[in-house]
Every structure is written in structure tokens, then in C-alpha cells.
Structure 1
Amino acid sequence: GPVRLPGRARARAVIAADPSDAVPHAHLPYLEAVFTFGAGAGPALSLTAPARRVFRPRPVDPEAPARILVSSGSEAEPKMAAYSHNAMAGGRATYLRALHDGDGPMRNLVLAPLASSFGSCGTSVTVAALGGTLLLQETFDAAGALRMIVEHRPTHVFGVPTMLRRIADQPPLDQEDFSGLRALVSSGAALPDATADVCRARFGDRVITVYGSSDGVNCHTAATGLTPEAGTGLPDPAVARIRITDGNGDPVPAGQPGEICARGPMTPLSYVADPALDARYRTPTGWVRTGDRGFIDGHGRLHVLGRIKQIVVRGGYNISPAEVERELGAHGAVAEVACVAVPDPDLGERLCACIRETPGSPSPDLAELTGFLESQRGLERRKLPELLLRVSEMPLGPTGKICRTTLAGLAARETQAIR
């Protein structure tokens, strides 16, 4: 419900976009004030009303909590991570500054919600730390985002792959001019090669992919370029050191997969009011376990293989949905793809490929897609999806990422009906 996260955070103040969203104090014992925009109503105080007293800034401990970032919750209950002023204005600002290769301040169109980890590059960093300009939409709209790019000329556009693909698929506008756009920045999920190609063709060559999360890890391709051998780029110790560990938490050699762990200036202080999460995801020496699989190659570049939790176990054999998605996304008729597990009484789980088809392309069946994966992409037969679900649009969560929980439920219902 609406009080769940503020209650867990022991929030003393809540800002609601609309007065009707104001949370009654009775449900939040620590709450002291509710703020909103517009005229205000009931217990809500208006942020746009004249100030009742002169604002006087107070000295702030740079290591004190500055804000809470909430994970997407696309797999489970959202996690809340507390970040210090130094982590936001230091580590996160250093990462954002590295994406900017020109003179003058950044002018960022941030399509991801500002409350998300990816969206935190907005107010706290673009405006407060770097003195740039922040462009926003109230809710994501692909046609409106394209108009904003043309009319307001941002230097950078920040969005998850689904958002960027939907913008790139929009019909051309009159007198389109993208000369001021320095980069499209993709994060929140793996960027499919097909989406990167479509974005390059529409907006220019510079597409940057960022690997990051609310757990305090970051790596991007601004310096290395977006190529298969570059992976997700070179980790920057000024933002976060990255290492790969085995099941016992010990570092593994270059090239060997394991869990991605991070520690550095961007590391959060702790998980909010949840010592069990701290014990599970943070080591005594301050390393954060991200729950992601990956490896670091001989050149020090990070390669992300997907979520550990998202492994599909079919008859005792582990299948990585991220690997299948990456290869299936190269098919010309597939605009978007997500692979999820469907329960099976015999094998435990089967892999279902959920696709949104490319407009105007012939509709592929399962046999065509699996044949493509095996003969043209070299995927092992035991990794091939056994079920296919077509959707007109991928279900999205609050942060704009594909909601796999919703998709898995839909896939289970639809595929059960046709068995």
C-alpha cells in the first residue's frame, strides 16, 4: 500500500505529487509533515506557497544520509538503500561527469523516475552537484519524449532500453535535428544489439550503456565504446571498485564468472531499517553483493551475464535468460524480448520467450526462432525456449523496466491454456 515504504523508512516527511495522495499521519507514527504541489489540502502543505520563514541552510555532515534510493522491485520486495551526500555528489557525480565529452553544462532529459537509482542522476547530481539543466516528463510518453529532444535539445537522454526503442520507433517529426544530442544513455536492463542499432540509425553513433543499481555499483561504456568485446566498460575506482567472487565470497581469476561485488565512493551507507539485508548483501569489509553474475576479462573490462535469481532450472540444467534474450534480440522480427520461467510438472521449469514483434515484419513462430538461435547464433539446443508468447507491449514496472513478475504470470496463464 501507499504507506509501506514510508513506514519501513520511518519517514518524517512525505512529498506527494497531488494533495489527494497525501498519507494520513495516523498510518505513519514518525511522520511530521506532508508536502504537495498546488494549493495543498488537509494535512498537506503546499511547496509552491510563499515561505513562512526565511530558509537558512545548516551545516551538514557530508557522510550523513542524503537520500534513499529504492530498487525497482521487479523481482521481489523493493530494497531501500541510504546514500550519503558524498556518495551522491562524489561517486555518482563522477560517473555522470564521465559521460559528458563536451564543453558547457549538461542538459539532461531523464526519462527514468527520479526516485529510481538510474533517475537519481537527475535532481541530486545533474542540478545540485553539476549545475546542469534537467528536463522531465510527468509520465513517460515516447512521442512526447521525441518532441522534447527536438524542441529542447538535450545533450543526453537517459532511459531504459524499452523507452529508447519506443522513441526510436516513432514516426519522424518535421525538421528533426539531433545535432545537439551527444549521447543516449541506457541502463536498468541489458541493451539489446537491435535496439542499439535502431537508436544509432535514428539519433547518431553515440549510445552509452550503463550497468548500475541502487546497491551502489556502476560501470559504463563511455570510454570503451559499445562493442561486444568491451562488455560494460572499465570499472572506475573513483566511482566504485568491482570484483568477482565465488560462492564463498573469495575473488576469482580473470575470465571466471561469479557474483559481481562493488565498493567505493558510491557505496550506500546501509539498507534502511533492515539489518537482515545488510547481513545478506554486505560483507564485513564493506563490499556489496549485487546478486548479478559476471566476469572481468584480461583487459579489466566488466561483462554482465544477468541476475543470479533469474536462472531457469530445466530438468536440473541451468539456463541464463539473459543469454537467450541477447541472441534472440538479433532476429529482425523481434523488437523486444524477455525470457521467463514457466512452471512444469515434469521438468520443474521451461523457458518461455516473450516477444514484441517488429512492426511490419512477418510474424515468426517458435520453430523459426529456435532454428535461428541454433543455426545462426550457435545456441545449444538445451538452452532453446520451448514456449512462445507474443505481446503487443511489454508490461513495465514503476521504473520503466520490464516487469518480469507480471510477464511470468501472464506467460504461465497463456501457455497453460494452449497446452
Structure 2
Amino acid sequence: MTSWTSAAGLVLTDRVPAALRARWVERGWCPDQDLYTLFLERVRSHPSREAVVDDQGTLDYAALDERARRTAALLAGHGVRERDVVAVLLPDGRDTVALDLAIAALGAIALPVPPGRSDADVLGLVERARAALLVTEASRVERIERAGAPAPVLAIDGPGARRPRPYTPERRRPDPESPARVLLSSGSEGEPTMVAYSHNAMAGGRGNYVGALHEGGGPPRVLLLVSSASSFGSLGIVALIRHGATLVTTRRFDPGAALEAIERHRPTLLVGVPTMLRRMALHDREVDTSSLTTVVASGAPLHREVYDLCVRRFRRPVVNVYGSTDGVNCHTARDTGEWGPGRAGRPDPAVAEISVRDPEGRPLPPGEIGEIWALGPMTPLCHVAAPELDRERRPAGGWVRTGDLGRLGGDGVLWVIDRLRRTVIRGGVTLYPARVEHALSAHPGVDEVHCVPVPDPDLGERMCACVRPTPGRTTPSGEELLAHLRDRHGMDTRALPEHVLFLPSLPLGPTGKVCAGTLTRMATEAVLARTTVLSGDPR
């Protein structure tokens, strides 16, 4: 196995056999070039094309390159060298994109962190990754330094920023198989994990999946609603580098402002998590959305109600993307008309081969349910500073154990059932919350729903359905929701939630998904305070 070591001693080892990586390059699935070299090809071919549209205006490819080279000079002046990890804590916009490119130009490794994370989370990630530098907004520098930053902190804006001469990259380029970016899991179910990706895995495997999302002959214009620092949001920089896209970003999500951005900037791809898309679809602002060719949903299960709302509002197909930071991707872009809850589409070998396996790692026949494994050009190198996760989730041969439960149909379509790690273990019986969420989301009185486990001294755990009632409708009773699950959807009484917590809104994490950790704490406190309905065993 090939390994790379940073100056700070961080070791990143590729868990995929080198012969497999070489085969993917031979087949044309990976470009075999580093990210900055690929970007320069775009600059030379269309320097005046819009590259980034943000709250400050528009930046073309030539201007973005100049900004990136000046940023690279700033980083080099602060000691950043090849293979150093640079943590980035910035809202989306031109500075973030230029910084991404600058890090790639230096052959360093980007560690983007969603701005919504707490200072303690940020410092923990910086320390675990042995980052050489943390780049953030001037307004946050003093607070982070006071909290004991384990690395130097650099302001990219405000009084601490300066404009050095542009940096001219050396002729020696990073190995395309070497580390380029560290992606974070959402951390919605616990502490976020870090996963290292190579230049080829980002531009190749991830680039192939991004290309399949876009319909039409011209380069895509992508309205990215999620943070570019998230795993899902990384498709923004990939679209720009690999496909010559125009990236439209906003500092924070607002459904009305997002709709206005569609009318004003004419994106072809609308990219967001289902919660965001749902809020846009229900918004009363009337705008022209005819520029859209595709609506892309990922980051959380896409329920029937949200799918139907989006199709009615945007009059465009909704592509459901199944993917994770660990290195798996599958989507419905090629068969949007055959959508169904849990349908993840047909695996693309240019992105990732999918296999469904039993607990011993043996492939299962079509139709049988097991753990989803993945291996392909987008497969990452390894987990960062977590060898125990590599031992658990990266078996021999480079495969990734996703921790997700699914099945492959006889027609090759992947269906995702639930996360193996997102379960409720009630008295030794494993319950899967996604099934309850799918069914409850179809109830007209339920606006949003997320199920979490709550501790129980007798059975270990019980399931709590956290529900945001539909505005303007009478809030359904807990008994009504149980009847809906049992009578309308035929659910076994053993699979029904035993607590229902009604909330005015569900808490969201930094990536825009429901924060399961926060919600679990809220549900646990409500159960202890006896403020849920159906408390106890309804059976």
C-alpha cells in the first residue's frame, strides 16, 4: 500500500491496490492529473466564462485564477508546503473557491469545515488532522486563538489579509493519486469522521457522477444550496474543475432568496438536501424556474411527498443521489421516471461498483438485503487519524463497507433500506427508523419527521418520532399517526414508535440535514419530562 506523510507526521495510506487505480486511469475513468492542472486547462480554454457567482457579484475563470494564485502566495508565505493539511473555515463564495484552488496549486491537502460547527469541533478536527494552518474569517480569528488553536490561524479577509504577488506553481506537480482533500461526514449521528481523497478520486470518480447529473450540451450552471465544505457540496468545486461549470453560491440558505437566485442567475442544476428543496417548493414566491434542467437531492432520504412537491413546483425531474463521505455513490439521473422511496439507481462502474453482502462479507444474490459495499474510481484513500475505522470499514481489496442496508434488484437497481448504524434496538429487536419516516411523511398533517432512539431502562431503547406538524392544519394526535402507520401502511405493531414529540421545527446541522444528535437529546429530555405523547408501551 502506498502512503504519504505530511511534515507534521500525518500518515495517509491508500487502501486500494495500486493496480486497480492504474486500471481506472487506463479505462479513462480518472484524468490522471492534479486538480490545479485541470483547472488551468479550463482557464486557458474559456478565460472569460463566469466561474463563481456570489453575494459580491461575478468572477470569470481568468480572474478566479489570479485570485487563486495570490492566495497561494499568501499560504506559501505562511509556510504551507506540499502535503500539508490546510483547514478552511469560511462561508461559501469566491474566497473559498480561490482558497481550494490555491491549496491544490501548492500540492497541499484541503480540509474544508462547514462554518456552522462549534469552535470546539473545529479545533478538534484541526488537531486530529495535524493541520499546518487554519484559514478563517477575521471576525473569528481572535476567538479561535483564545480557545487554544493547535495550528496558526490566518484571516483571509478583513485587516489581517494582504495581496501578495501571484504565485506561479512549480513545474513539478502532485501525484494524481496523492491526497488532495479531506471530506467530513455530517456528524449528524455522532463525531464527524474525516476521509482522505486523491486528486483522481475527486476529479475522476466524483467528476464522473457530477457529469451524469447534467443534461444538455453546454457547461452546467450549478446553484449550490448546501455548504461546499460538506461531502455532498464538494460536487461544486468538482463541477467547476472537471466540467467548466459556473458555480452559484450563497452565504446562507433562505428559501425565498434561493428561488430569486434561480430567476436571476439562471442555473441549470439546483442542488440541495430534501429539507431545503421542500421549503423552496412550498414557498409562495412566484419566480421563473425554466432554466433548470435537473433538481438534485441528496444528504438525507427523499420522501415521496418532497419528490412530488418538487416535480410540481419546478416541473423538472428530481434526481435522488445516494452517497456518503465513505466513498459510495449511486443516483437516478438515468431513470428519473421510475422513482420510488429508497430507489438509488443503477451503479456506474466509472464511479463505484456496488455489492450487497452478508455479515461475513459474502455477496448476496439479487433481492436479498445486506450491507452495501462499494469500490471504484471515487473510492477514497483512507480515514484520517482513525486506523480503527479503516480496520472496521475498509476490508481487503480496497472495498468500503458503507454501514448502509440495501438490496440489488434483478435489473441491477440499488435500493437503500436504512443505515445499519442508524437503528433502534428495542429489547434485542432491530428497528429501522427510515421506514417509519417514509410512511409518516405521507400523512397530510406531518410537515417533517425524523425518528431517533431514546434510552429505556427496561428495553434499552425505544423509538421516538419527532414531528413538525403541517402549518395551517390541525395537529394530528399520536393515536392518529399510529393508526396511519398500522392501517394505511400495514406496519407491524412492533415497528411503531412508542413516543411522538411535536416540535415547531427540526434542528438542522451545519450541512443542512436534520441534526440527529441534537434531536436525540431533545427527545430524551422530553421523554424524561413526560412531554411526549404515547409515552410507554402502546402495545
Q: Same fold (TM over 0.5)?
A: yes
Residue pair 1:108, 1:155 contacting (<8 A) in 2 also: yes
1:24-60 superposed Cα distances (whole Å, 9 cap, x missing partner):
499566x4x644332343xxxx2xx422354225412
| 1:135 equivalenced with 2:248 (yes/no) | yes
CA distance in 1, matches of 2:297, 2:275: 9
What is the aligned counterpart of 1:11 among 131, 138, 153?
131
- Percent identity among equivalent residues? 48
- Equivalent position of 1:233 in the other structure: 345
Shift of 1:379: 1.1
CA distance in 2, matches of 1:108, 1:206: 15
| 1:396 equivalenced with 2:504 (yes/no) | no
What is the aligned counterpart of 2:316 among 192, 200, 205?
205
| 1:102 equivalenced with 2:216 (yes/no) | yes
What is the aligned counterpart of 1:122 among 224, 236, 242?
236
Residue pair 1:396, 1:402 contacting (<8 A) in 2 also: yes
Look up the equivalent residue of 2:196 and give its one-letter code: A
CA distance in 1, matches of 2:429, 2:394: 29
Residue pair 2:141, 2:154 contacting (<8 A) in 1 also: no
| 1:358 equivalenced with 2:477 (yes/no) | no
Shift of 1:338: 0.6
Mapping for residues 258-273 of structure 1, pairs under 5 Å: 258-273=370-385
Look up the equivalent residue of 1:68 and give its one-letter code: V
Residue pair 2:293, 2:316 contacting (<8 A) in 1 also: no
- Equivalent position of 2:282 in the other structure: 169
Residue pair 1:216, 1:266 contacting (<8 A) in 2 also: yes
Q: Secondary structure at the match of 1:260?
A: strand
Residue pair 2:357, 2:370 contacting (<8 A) in 1 also: yes
What is the aligned counterpart of 2:403 among 291, 294, 297?
291
Q: Secondary structure at the match of 1:285?
A: helix
- Equivalent position of 1:39 in the other structure: 158
| 1:316 equivalenced with 2:428 (yes/no) | yes
Look up the equivalent residue of 1:37 and give its one-letter code: I
Residue pair 1:19, 1:37 contacting (<8 A) in 2 also: no
Residue pair 2:370, 2:406 contacting (<8 A) in 1 also: yes
**Alpha carbon RMSD of aligned pairs, Å?**
1.9
| 1:64 equivalenced with 2:184 (yes/no) | no
Residue pair 2:215, 2:294 contacting (<8 A) in 1 also: no
Shift of 1:13: 2.7
TM-score (norm 1): 0.93
Look up the equivalent residue of 1:350 and give its one-letter code: R
Residue pair 1:221, 1:230 contacting (<8 A) in 2 also: no
Residue pair 1:356, 1:392 contacting (<8 A) in 2 also: yes
Look up the equivalent residue of 2:129 and give its one-letter code: A
What is the aligned counterpart of 1:387 among 499, 509, 516?
499
Q: Secondary structure at the match of 1:128?
A: helix
Residue pair 2:425, 2:431 contacting (<8 A) in 1 also: yes
Residue pair 2:138, 2:158 contacting (<8 A) in 1 also: no
Residue pair 1:342, 1:352 contacting (<8 A) in 2 also: yes
- Equivalent position of 1:196 in the other structure: 307
Q: Secondary structure at the match of 1:362?
A: coil
CA distance in 2, matches of 1:288, 1:358: 39
Structure 1, unmatched stretches of 5+, are none
- Equivalent position of 1:243 in the other structure: 355
Residue pair 1:211, 1:220 contacting (<8 A) in 2 also: yes
**Residues 237 and 114 of structure 1: is their aligned pair in 2 closer, same or farther, counting only changes over 3 Å?**
same
Mapping for residues 63-82 of structure 1, pairs under 5 Å: 63-82=177-196
Look up the equivalent residue of 2:168 and give its one-letter code: F
1:380-414 superposed Cα distances (whole Å, 9 cap, x missing partner):
12111121111111111111111111111111111
Q: Secondary structure at the match of 1:212?
A: strand
TM-score (norm 2): 0.73
CA distance in 2, matches of 1:190, 1:286: 27
Residue pair 2:341, 2:438 contacting (<8 A) in 1 also: no
Residue pair 1:65, 1:269 contacting (<8 A) in 2 also: yes
Shift of 1:229: 8.0
1:223-243 superposed Cα distances (whole Å, 9 cap, x missing partner):
122522881100000001111
Q: Secondary structure at the match of 1:129?
A: helix
Structure 2, unmatched stretches of 5+, are 1-119
Residue pair 1:194, 1:335 contacting (<8 A) in 2 also: no
CA distance in 2, matches of 1:120, 1:282: 22
- Equivalent position of 1:256 in the other structure: 368
What is the aligned counterpart of 1:368 among 480, 488, 498?
480
CA distance in 2, matches of 1:73, 1:39: 30
CA distance in 1, matches of 2:197, 2:145: 27
**Residues 402 and 76 of structure 1: is their aligned pair in 2 closer, same or farther, counting only changes over 3 Å?**
same
CA distance in 2, matches of 1:192, 1:229: 6
Shift of 1:167: 1.4
Residue pair 2:375, 2:398 contacting (<8 A) in 1 also: yes
| 1:154 equivalenced with 2:267 (yes/no) | yes
